[in-house]
Amino acid sequence: MAQAHEFTDANFESEVLKSDSPVLVDFWAAWCGPCKMIAPVIEELAGELDGKVKIGKLDVDANQQTMRAYGVRSIPTLMIFKDGERVDTLIGAQPKEAILSKLQEYQTA
C-alpha cells in the first residue's frame, strides 16, 4: 500500500508543482492535535488514490519557506495542486468524505 509522500522546501517544486497528477499537500506539525487526528485519513487516502492523486505531508516547522510562500496561517491546511497551480484549500481537520469529494473534482480519470 502506498504511503503519503514527504514534501520539503527542497523537493516541493519537483514533487508538487511539476507533478503530472493532482497533488494533495497536508501542511502539518508534530505538536498540532488536529493534524494528528487527520494523519490516518491522509495515509488511507494515499493508499486508496495511489496512481490517481499524489498525497503527501509538509512539516511546517521544518519547511517554513514553502509554508510562507502559500500563506499557511493555521494547520492543518490541505492544499490541492494541479498543473503547478493551487486549485483548492481546506483548513482544519476535515472528514475523509470532504477531502475525497474535493479531490474527485480534480482527479484525472
What is the per-residue pLDDT across 44-90, written as a single tens digit (0 to 9) for each? Answer: 999 999 999 999 999 999 999 999 999 999 999 999 999 999 999 99
Q: How many domains does the chain have?
A: 1
Percent of the chain with pLDDT over 90: 95
Query: Is 82 among the domain residues?
Result: yes
Active site residues: 32, 35
Contacts of 86 (CB under 8 A, 6+ apart): 70, 79, 80
Query: Is 12 among the domain residues?
Result: yes
Of the candidate ranges 14-18, 61-65, 105-109, the one whose mean pLDDT is the lowest: 105-109
Query: Is 45 among the domain residues?
Result: yes
The region, left, alpha or beta by phi > 0 then psi within -120 to 50, assigned to residue 83 is left
Query: Is 106 among the domain residues?
Result: no
Query: Is 103 among the domain residues?
Result: no
pTM of this prediction? 0.95
Contacts of 87 (CB under 8 A, 6+ apart): 22, 80, 81, 106
Query: Is 107 among the domain residues?
Result: no
pLDDT over threshold 80, residue 7:
yes
Query: Is 109 among the domain residues?
Result: no
Query: Is 67 among the domain residues?
Result: yes
**pLDDT of amino acid 108:** 64
- CATH code for the domain of 66: 3.40.30.10
Range of the domain at 76: 5-98
